[in-house]
A and B are shown apart, each in its own frame.
Chain A
């Protein structure tokens, strides 16, 4: 469905002096610097999959999404989506896709939302019958009813995002690109949006590429993750696999009596561990012991702690995805050096 092959994008940054004269100078004799936003990105997404496309800020996620949507022309490499190369057959291609850029609305600022959808209906040539059904569906999952008559500029961020997502789904696209669709939203709106994505994916087999910094988006929605960093692929696989390979960080939480003291040094010396393999945080009567379960089994850690102090309560926390990603990055940086 979606093939990205060795996508590379360089930007020429023009260094120019200010003003009209500067613009002219830059026009005729530009001083240029080359910035590589995406160095070599490849992946493949089968039909009907929800792919989590993740990476730290500045990794090149948006650049790749913009190449896939045909906004940017790759410097080298190519992408083929639905059998089409976005840059070559733009008008036909964009009919089959929907895109939301969370940071920037695509709606008309001064138009009431309802009229926006009417314009989009004409642009995408959605017939009346399908339009009615579609709006009913989008209304139901995204709850647009309460603000559909308001001009876009008066919408709250959550409303605007729901409106944008509805706009991207109006013409039943085969592929949906969502660049940070949940950024800055509260839990209820996030949940709304996730429901809409899931429903449309299940009912219409829409392929979705989603970038996000919100781990629950990935946990709840994504079948697979592609992670990139500094313009290169870092990981490609399931979340479960990622957890297994990099999720060896565990957290034990002990509740003790107030007099107890457990220090990081004490544990590091006693168990012969170093650096990030063991960290202890104290919060009143609770101690959080975070450690690498590859270096020391959970059972041993438990019995060691129990031998040091009296414990009232114990809980064990599994590695969360943020920690996994942090570990992966740490390893990546380590490999670079």
Chain B
């Protein structure tokens, strides 16, 4: 374990150094990210100039859900961004070879290679919104609700990571799965808002099939209502563990189907 941590630290430190070097790239990323977030938040503002409540939630509560949903998203983004590259080109170009001839877990190796500082944007916006919205959102604050919610955050992030592992691993068979990761990942847009505003098929989709609802709406529900922790917190943990197990299985199968690329 100490070895794993040391390797991770070495690689992450290198990533930060690289960041300093490619500053233009970093700034462009930060600006496009800010625009994206600004649009999302402006959308909520506009809706609430027209209506007082959205599916029974006040302005602050919706902002709280939005903010909370950005935290697991940001955590996953920070830690496992390299999975996109697996889907887009690492497998297709045969560059996956090197992960297979090193005596550490290839999945860990891939993930450790990138420490995506861009994700700070999501984390800052998320935490900022929580701080802004919390006083007036009518939260049920107790040791339990806060503790359980904090515990659930890494599991919610694991839902993101698992979905990315699964879809990235498809590249082992079809060579390039970037589009598919994009499509599945894109569903997280639904997690930012109360799931109850969507039609039934969408609700089923984001709850049971691509369960992003657990990373935002259901995750915040316990703090908002103070009831039913088994569904919201238990659900997040259960769903993430099941998904993670499936994703590891798919990944492992994928590796034995890996075909490399001509030299």
Q: Taking the complex as formed, is B11 at the interface, i.e. its CB lies under 8 A from any CB of chain A?
A: yes
Q: Taking the complex as formed, is B259 at the interface, i.e. its CB lies under 8 A from any CB of chain A?
A: yes
Assuming A62-B262, A71-B97, A91-B104, is B176 touching A23 (CB within 8 A)? yes
Interface size for B (C-beta < 8 A) is 35
A38 to chain B, nearest CB (A): 13
B132 to chain A, nearest CB (A): 37
Q: List 21 A-B contacts (CB under 8 A).
A: A26-B174, A27-B173, A62-B263, A66-B97, A66-B260, A69-B101, A71-B258, A73-B258, A91-B105, A94-B100, A94-B101, A95-B103, A97-B101, A104-B94, A104-B95, A118-B10, A119-B11, A122-B7, A122-B10, A123-B102, A179-B263
Comparing A107-115, A216-224, A255-263, A316-324, the segment that makes contact with chain B is A107-115
The 5 closest A-B pairs by CB, nearest first: A106-B98, A95-B103, A62-B263, A103-B263, A110-B18
> Which of B6, B101, B176, B180 has the most chain A CB atoms closer than 10 A to its own CB?
B101
Residues of A within 8 A of B258 (CB): 71-73
A101 touches B97 (CB 8 A): yes
Query: Residue A110 contacts which of B3, B21, B183 (CB distance < 8 angstroms)?
Result: B21
Q: Taking the complex as formed, is B80 at the interface, i.e. its CB lies under 8 A from any CB of chain A?
A: no
Q: Taking the complex as formed, is B179 at the interface, i.e. its CB lies under 8 A from any CB of chain A?
A: yes
Residues of A within 8 A of B98 (CB): 106
Q: Taking the complex as formed, is A70 at the interface, i.e. its CB lies under 8 A from any CB of chain B?
A: yes
B11 touches A14 (CB 8 A): no
> Which of B100, B104, B173 has the most chain A CB atoms closer than 10 A to its own CB?
B100
Interface size for A (C-beta < 8 A) is 40
Residues of B within 8 A of A274 (CB): none
> Which of A111, A119, A122 has the most chain B CB atoms closer than 10 A to its own CB?
A122
Inter-chain CA distance A277–B258, complex, in Å, is 47
Query: Residue B174 contacts which of A23, A66, A91, A102 (CB distance < 8 angstroms)?
Result: A23
Residues of A within 8 A of B101 (CB): 69-71, 94, 97, 99, 106
Annotate A71-96 by CB proximity to B: 1 below 8 A, 0 otherwise.
Answer: 11100000000000001001110110
Q: Taking the complex as formed, is A281 at the interface, i.e. its CB lies under 8 A from any CB of chain B?
A: no
Inter-chain CA distance A11–B18, complex, in Å, is 37
Looking across the interface, which residue of chain A has its beta carbon closest to that of B95? Answer: A104
Q: Taking the complex as formed, is A188 at the interface, i.e. its CB lies under 8 A from any CB of chain B?
A: no
Q: Taking the complex as formed, is A251 at the interface, i.e. its CB lies under 8 A from any CB of chain B?
A: no
B97 touches A73 (CB 8 A): no
Q: Taking the complex as formed, is A20 at the interface, i.e. its CB lies under 8 A from any CB of chain B?
A: yes
Total contacts A to B, CB within 8 angstroms?
A: 86
Inter-chain CA distance A87–B101, complex, in Å, is 11
Residues of A within 8 A of B11 (CB): 108, 119
A125 touches B3 (CB 8 A): yes
A320 to chain B, nearest CB (A): 25
Sample of 12 further A-B pairs with CB below 8 A, known A70-B100, A101-B97, A124-B103:
A11-B259, A27-B170, A27-B173, A69-B100, A71-B100, A90-B100, A104-B97, A104-B263, A106-B98, A110-B21, A115-B10, A122-B10
Q: Taking the complex as formed, is A180 at the interface, i.e. its CB lies under 8 A from any CB of chain B?
A: yes
A23 touches B177 (CB 8 A): yes
Residues of B within 8 A of A90 (CB): 100
A92 touches B97 (CB 8 A): no
Within 8 A of B (CB), among A174-194: 179-180
Query: Residue A180 contacts which of B103, B175, B263 (CB distance < 8 angstroms)?
Result: B263
Residues of A within 8 A of B6 (CB): 122
B155 to chain A, nearest CB (A): 27
Looking across the interface, which residue of chain B has its beta carbon closest to that of A110? Answer: B18
Residues of B within 8 A of A110 (CB): 14, 18, 21
Annotate B78-122 by CB proximity to A: 1 below 8 A, 0 otherwise.
Answer: 000000000000000011011011111100000001000000000
Query: Residue A14 contacts which of B14, B18, B174 (CB distance < 8 angstroms)?
Result: B174
Inter-chain CA distance A206–B175, complex, in Å, is 35
Residues of B within 8 A of A91 (CB): 103-105
Inter-chain CA distance A73–B174, complex, in Å, is 17
Residues of A within 8 A of B100 (CB): 69-71, 90, 94
A20 touches B174 (CB 8 A): no
Residues of B within 8 A of A180 (CB): 263
Query: Residue A73 contacts which of B7, B18, B256 (CB distance < 8 angstroms)?
Result: B256
B15 to chain A, nearest CB (A): 8
Looking across the interface, which residue of chain A has its beta carbon closest to that of B13? Answer: A115
Looking across the interface, which residue of chain B has its beta carbon closest to that of A183? Answer: B263
Inter-chain CA distance A179–B17, complex, in Å, is 32
Annotate A1-29 by CB proximity to B: 1 below 8 A, 0 otherwise.
Answer: 00000000001001010001001001100
